[in-house]
Amino acid sequence: MMKLAVFASGSGSNFQALALAAKEERLQAEIALLVCDNSEAYAVKRAEQLNIPVFSFRAREYDNKAAFENEIVEKLKEAGVDLIVLAGYMRLIGPTLLNAFEKQIINIHPSLLPAFPGKNAIGQAWEKGVKITGVTVHFVDEGMDTGPIIAQEAVAVKKTDSLQSLTLAIQAAEHRVYPETIQLLIEKRTLEGSPYNDHQASIN
Ligand code: GRF
């Protein structure tokens, strides 16, 4: 079975949705490790409740990004991880991880990229008054939310929406789309006909 590592920094609701999908076998993968850059994050508590191993670290205790990413790579190799799944991990991935897991790192972002990259994407879309926004799953490169797009789902902004209700609708879409998309990647059913379908070959 394919082994995933989920990287999170905060609440970890996507992590939990993935763990549930794996338990219910909608996602045929094992979440082998949660990697977290904040041992106080709620994601860590969720992992403890789910009996999923955690590697947490403090970036400031290392000399630089390469130093902590080297340690992460070690933990991922030890755990036999095939695919890195970013879910609210608030750091750019550096060359150490990108080279060790080439084309095997994906991310979810709460907008229809390339619109509204970066922090507070739902708030940015709300402020702009867009009528349609959504979620994007993409491969990770050195940029901020810039890699090749794997899947998107639109979420309409309703007249009756508030920022809060829109946020809930987007989170619900994320919790459904992320496990579905990873399952499609595992089955090698995504990206057919896409200019990026060479990525497909690298997902074991
Ligand atoms: C999600 O909206 C995700 O798209 C973004 O960060 C948020 C993480 O939420 N990258 P959670 O920690 O999974 O609840």
- Taking CB atoms within 8 Å and a gap of at least 24, the contacts of 188-191 are 190/150, 190/151, 191/150
- Ligand 1 atom 7: residue of nearest CA: 88
What percentage of the chain carries pLDDT values higher than 70? 92
Of the CATH numbers 3.40.640.10, 3.20.20.70, 3.60.20.40, 3.40.50.170, which one belongs to the domain with range 2-192?
3.40.50.170
- Distance between CA atoms of residues 195 and 45, nearest Å: 40
Residues 117, 108 contacting (CB under 8 angstroms): no
* pLDDT given for residue 190 in this prediction: 56
* pLDDT given for residue 102 in this prediction: 93
- Ligand 1 atom 2: residue of nearest CA: 110
pLDDT tens per residue, range 145-199: 999 999 999 999 999 999 999 999 999 999 999 999 999 999 886 544 444 455 5
Atom of ligand 1 nearest to the CA of 171: 2
Q: pLDDT at residue 133 above 70? A: yes
Domain boundary assignment for the chain: 2-192
- Identify the CA nearest to 141 among candidates 196, 192, 181, 184: 196
* pLDDT given for residue 188 in this prediction: 82
* pLDDT given for residue 197 in this prediction: 52
Question: Is the CB–ligand 1 distance for residue 10 below 6 Å?
Answer: yes
Report CA 48 to chain centroid distance, whole Å.
19
The sign of the CA dihedral 98, 103, 108, 109 is positive
With tokens 């929406």, the residue in question is 161
* pLDDT given for residue 195 in this prediction: 43
Please state the rounded mean pLDDT for residues 88-115: 97
Model pTM above 0.85: yes
Give the model's confidence band at 202: pLDDT under 50 very low, under 70 low, under 90 confident, else very high. Answer: very low
- Distance between CA atoms of residues 126 and 111, nearest Å: 11
Q: Which residue type, as a one-letter code, is found at position 88?
A: G
